[in-house]
Amino acid sequence: MTRQIRWAAAFCLLLTALLLVNAARIQLVQSSTYDDNPANRRQAIARYSQPRGDIYVDGRPVTGSKDTGEQLRFERTYKNGPLYAPVTGYASQVYGSTSLENAEDRLLAGTSPALAPLPLWGDLTRELQPGGQVHTTIVPEMQRAAYEGLGGKQGAVAAIEPATGKILALVSAPSYDPELLSGNSVAAARNWSRLNTAASKPMLNRAIRQTYPPGSAFKVVTAAAALDAGVITDVDAPTKSPDPYRLPGTSTSLGNEVEGCANASLRQAFTWSCNTVFARLGVEVGLGSMVGTAQRFGFNTRGLRIPSPVAASNFDSSMDQPQLALSSIGQYDTTATPLQMAMVASAVATGGDLRAPYLVDRTTDASGDTVSLTQPRSLHQTFNPGTGSLLRELMIEVVEKGTGRNAAIPGAVVGGKTGTAQHGLGNTGLPYAWFISWAQSSDSATPAVAVAVVVEDASAVRDDISGGGIAAPIARAVMEAGLARAARAEPQGSRGWPQPLEGREWPEPRSESEAGHGRPGARSRR
């Protein structure tokens, strides 16, 4: 009898051990399978059982939480939702999250191990902490200036502090109110459908997720490549450029929208945006050097995050000479985000030190204690110091005497470059208007802001589409707000580079429009 009892006891112990092993397998090995099962609502219920942490602009929250009393208790709310939508994105109980709401989701939801007093224990217990806070680099006056400047036009604005890489404004228009998507009601579903099917694509973050042909704004990159490669040693010397310029190996001729471009110097060609000079320079510099310079400015960079992902800007590394000529004036397959073109202006403003752009200054826990702090870092030295000095001079003259005079600001040194980019089949689409620029107070030692503006307004009169006519005034408003911010932070300083140039006279342009930058049928990605 004792023997049977021992066997029964051993069998019971074996069953108990197997049950414990199976429980451990389910809880440790297969836990994610059950957690991620759509039928399991426990995670969602826990996630929305407490208010979400907030996103801050200039020390004030632009998000909030609303107690609905329902099973998914707290819904996200937004203050000035359309103004800050490109920054915050949306956090929906049904449709997920985007932008900062997505990039900083674990901290905002309270599930980040960094918020737990004992991080390892927090990982094991999965206990929710109060949601953390995300403090952005956005300056509200600059954000509003960009938003109001675009008005009803489709387009985007990106503004950067050159010395640090802080993103000071990030606007995409038309915009939307993220709060319309927060809940799980029928109204939220209708809003989702309406916003996703709208022809104007209001939920597309044009500032960091859309790429455009940059047109003549890209000539800053081509000028840098020509100077660094030694193809241009004197910016005032004739360039031996014909007008029109026949693309190498073809019967296609490229012309200009202004007179006086034949044999023009680099300075004159940059000031009045001569296509023929820059197309020829790109070919003379060569594909390898053009690609290298573009990449140092940030083109072809995959995986850039601010911390939201940024679409890669493109400069093809495999082209024939006619394609290289068109790419050198920002056409063919050359494309860029507004943030990328703001980085181009920022690199010139700092003399070549391209700083990594970032949108989050710091994160904190619910009590305000710092969790993480973003440190500025350099991405590339884009060109040598001598090239930097000349590029600043050239951009200043565009604003003082050339196509960018609408961006001039009294009491400040402003450098800029206009651009009008062709696109569409046979270049029949309404051109995109670009303006990239930087501004520095006349009594300051450092530039305050670098800006890129693109306008793609299909309702505008075609003759009015030009970087200097439409985009430059928007950039000026953003720069004025940036200069005012810098003055509050540093009221006095020594006057630094660059200085306005006097005493040079160039022929007046026939037109400030820069249309006609591409050959008929030239390909460009929108």
Enzyme catalytic residues:
216
Q: How far apart are CA 261 and CA 238, in angstroms?
A: 10
> Tokens representing 246?
């026949």
Paired with 355 in beta bridges are 378
Ordered DSSP codes for 366-379 = TTS-EEEEPPP-EE
The candidate with the shortest Cα–Cα distance to 298, out of 336, 328, 331, is 336
The verdict on whether omega for the bond into residue 498 sits within 30 degrees of 0, i.e. cis, is yes
If we measure between CA atoms, which residue out of 434, 432, 398, 401 comes closest to residue 415? 398
Nearest to 90 by CA among 183, 194, 185: 183
**Contact indicator for 302, 313 with CB cutoff of 8 Å:** no
Q: What are the strands, taking DSSP E only, across 112-235?
A: 133-136, 155-160, 167-173
Considering only CA atoms, which of 125, 139, 112 is closest in space to residue 52? Answer: 112
Secondary structure of residue 15 in the 3-state scheme: helix
Residues comprising the chain, all counted = 526
Helices 472-489 and 140-150: crossing angle in degrees, nearest 10, is: 170
Q: Is residue 271 exposed (0-12), middle (13-18) or buried (19+ Cβ within 10 Å)?
A: buried
Tokens of 122: 């927090």
Q: What are phi and psi of 134, to 5 degrees?
A: -115, 120
**Residue bearing tokens 């209001």:** 202
Which three-class secondary structure string do you get for 79-129? CCHHHHHHHHCCEECCCEECHHHHHCHHHHHCCCHHHCCCHHHHHHHCCCC
CA distance linking residue 105 with residue 101, whole number of Å: 5
Between the alpha carbon of residue 257 and those of residues 275, 364, 405, 416, the distances in Å are 8, 53, 17, 19
Q: Are 147 and 171 in contact (CB under 8 A)?
A: yes
Q: d(Cα 441, Cα 294) in Å, to the nearest integer?
A: 29
Q: Which amino acid is at 194?
A: R
CB 55 within 8 A of CB 136: yes
- Total H helices, total E strands in the chain: 17, 18
Amino acid at position 276, single letter: T
Of residues 523, 514, 519, the one with CA closest to residue 246: 519
Q: 27-38 burial by CB neighbour count: b if 16+ within 10 A, else e?
A: eeeeeeeeeeee
CA–CA dist 427, 371 (Å, integer): 50
